[in-house]
Amino acid sequence: MIYLLYGDETYLIRQRINELVADTRALNVETFDGDAPGFQYRDFLDALNNIPLFAEKQFVLFRNPPFLINKLNDQKIENELLSYAQNPAYSTELILYNEGCNFNTALSLYKAFLKNAKCETFKLLDNRSFYQNAKNMIKNAKISIDNEALDYLINACNGKLSSLYQFIPLLKLYGEPLNIHSITYLVNRNIEDNSFKLVNAINSKDLSLSLAILKDLYDSGTPPQLIIASLAFQFRYLFQVAYLNEEGMTFAQIKNQSNTKSDYRLQMALKTVEKQNSQDLLGGLAALSNLDYDLKNDDDLDPLNKLEIFIIKYIKGIYASN
């Protein structure tokens, strides 16, 4: 059996996967990620034909399979995938699903798998269904929250259960009953933390992670201008640390000059700028300023697309030493 699960509501997709594999032992569940570095098609094709251990069926899960997104350049691999789509192994339950990307419906491989798969679509819920599901999710997590704070949290999630799901561990750690003041702080702090992670990923030249974090921020309802402002704040701080480090200052001197309160934050910043120079960071900061101006003065621009282009250009060094 082949399952093709797709749609914008990744939380529901993952719930469905959990339902499908619920009664299967872990040794009979193999997972693949098309975005993972080092992914090999041969490993995936071999897994499809493995014999289940002490069971009739095995599951092979594949997140964002590249052959359903872009055309393959390897004709032999494409032929093997096409052959499997037409004649899948009886003992293998293959689950192909998307997360943060769209399948390319024009591809011949997509059409072949579509023809022989059980397809399930997971669209974003309407407002009423989303609100009810969100309330149930909060209730099941045993989180105490007043109605005003709940409304704020739900609005911040921009209609996506997957965004709300990401907040659950943070809300549970808080412990105390949540009101509008505490939930505002936690939501904004989450944005700040994700912005810090995004800047680290960008400066580590990790394109896939950078774009994934950006997508999470955008999907959670974070306004594009706030994302840019958060990035600019982090870039400005890293520029300051990089410049002072290049001047030969000690850790204590940098901490004092940059007005950094936390040793850990400064240690992380110094690690981030190890392979960067201050002028590269300054070029990125200037590009963010220009992006902010463009978005404020042209309503037709796609904010997410423009932010993705900024990240790609920065990682490729296009803004370097400008």
* DSSP code per residue over 36-78: STT--HHHHHHHHTPPPSSSS-EEEEEES-GGGTS--S-HHHH
Helix or strand or coil: residue 96? Answer: strand
Q: Are strands 58-63 and 92-97 parallel, antiparallel or unpaired?
A: parallel
Q: How far apart are CA 235 and CA 203, in angstroms?
A: 10
196-315: CATH, from 3.40.50.300, 3.30.1360.120, 3.40.50.2300, 1.20.272.10? 1.20.272.10
For residue 232, count other CB atoms closer than 10 A to its CB: 19
Q: How far apart are CA 159 and CA 130, in angstroms?
A: 6
Q: How far apart are CA 12 and CA 115, in angstroms?
A: 23
CA 134 to chain centre: 20
Helix (H) or strand (E) segment spanning residue 95: strand 92-97
Give the amino acid at 99: E
Question: Do 259 and 228 meet the contact criterion of CB atoms below 8 Å apart?
Answer: no
Q: Quote the pLDDT of residue 181.
A: 86
**Residue ranges of the chain with per-residue pLDDT less than 70:** 100, 158, 189-192, 220-221, 320-322
Helix (H) or strand (E) segment spanning residue 31: strand 29-33
Digit-coded pLDDT (tens) for 198-231? 888 888 888 888 888 888 788 766 778 778 888 8
Q: Quote the pLDDT of residue 220.
A: 67
Structural fold of domain 2-121:
Rossmann fold (3.40.50)
pTM of the model: 0.59
Domain range annotation of the chain: 2-121, 127-178, 196-315
